[in-house]
Amino acid sequence: MQNDIFPVTSEDTVQFLLNRMTEYKVAQLPVVEGQTYLGLALEDDLSGQDGAINLQAGNVGHSLRMIFIYEGQHIYDALRLFHTHHLDVLPVVDEQQQYKGSIILSSLMDLMADLVMSDEEGGIIELEIGNRDNSMSHIAQIVESDNAQILSSSVRRFPDSTRLEVTLKLNRTDISSIVASFLRHDYLVKAIYNDKRGYDSTQDRYDQLMKYLDI
């Protein structure tokens, strides 16, 4: 949560809000009265309105959207609201609807990068599994049996399907033996990334043999 985005009031004009959105490079601004949160003003709703009138006038005030998150909610809830409403700014309130600050999209992305351990070097494995086969304990057992650890994981559903995509970020880059273990356990390995396995000269020797036979 940050306080870099200053809220506006219902007495501010439409043009003032649009100018402030341009200054902050956002498409929404929280509206407060005192410390009470009134709603979120959206650029799309203000465009075309008389710039000289304030939010209290006419239908302008009714266009405020009651989009917010409580300060005790998890960051995953914030991510859902950002995605659902296509937000740049998400207001944060307490149980009494008092405005506490805002989360901006860039800071959310920084936090999500920390959550998925994006700065840590490691291999990435994508598995495709059935919904009934979603056992993280078994997946972790396969990884840990090879003296590796899962740094982060995520699950994505396919539309109109019972299939799931499980993405694993591991704590090492030589993951070929782990991939082989998943295959032995009948997992569908969709893709692997950052697999810095040891140098294998087999292909080079094969290429040299083919060149020799062509002579």
Where is pLDDT greater, at 2 or 144? 144
Is pTM beyond 0.85 here? no
Where is pLDDT greater, at 114 or 81? 81
Residue-wise pLDDT for 115-155, tens only, equals 777 778 899 999 999 877 778 899 999 999 999 999 999 89
Residue indicated by tokens 């559903």: 157
Domain ranges of the chain: 8-113, 124-193
**How far from the centroid of its chain's Cα atoms is residue 81's Cα?**
11
Which CATH architecture fits 124-193?
Answer: 2-Layer Sandwich (3.30)
Task: Calculate the CA dihedral of residues 81, 107, 194, 148 and round it to 10 degrees.
Answer: -80
Domains 8-113 and 124-193 share a fold: no
Q: DSSP H helical segments within 25-104, as ranges? A: 43-46, 75-85
The correct answer on CATH 3.10.580.10 for the domain covering 8-113 is: yes
Residue type, 75: I
DSSP state of 185: T
pLDDT, residue 213, reads 62
Residue-wise pLDDT for 17-44, tens only, equals 999 999 999 999 999 999 999 999 999 9
pLDDT higher than threshold 50 for residue 93: yes
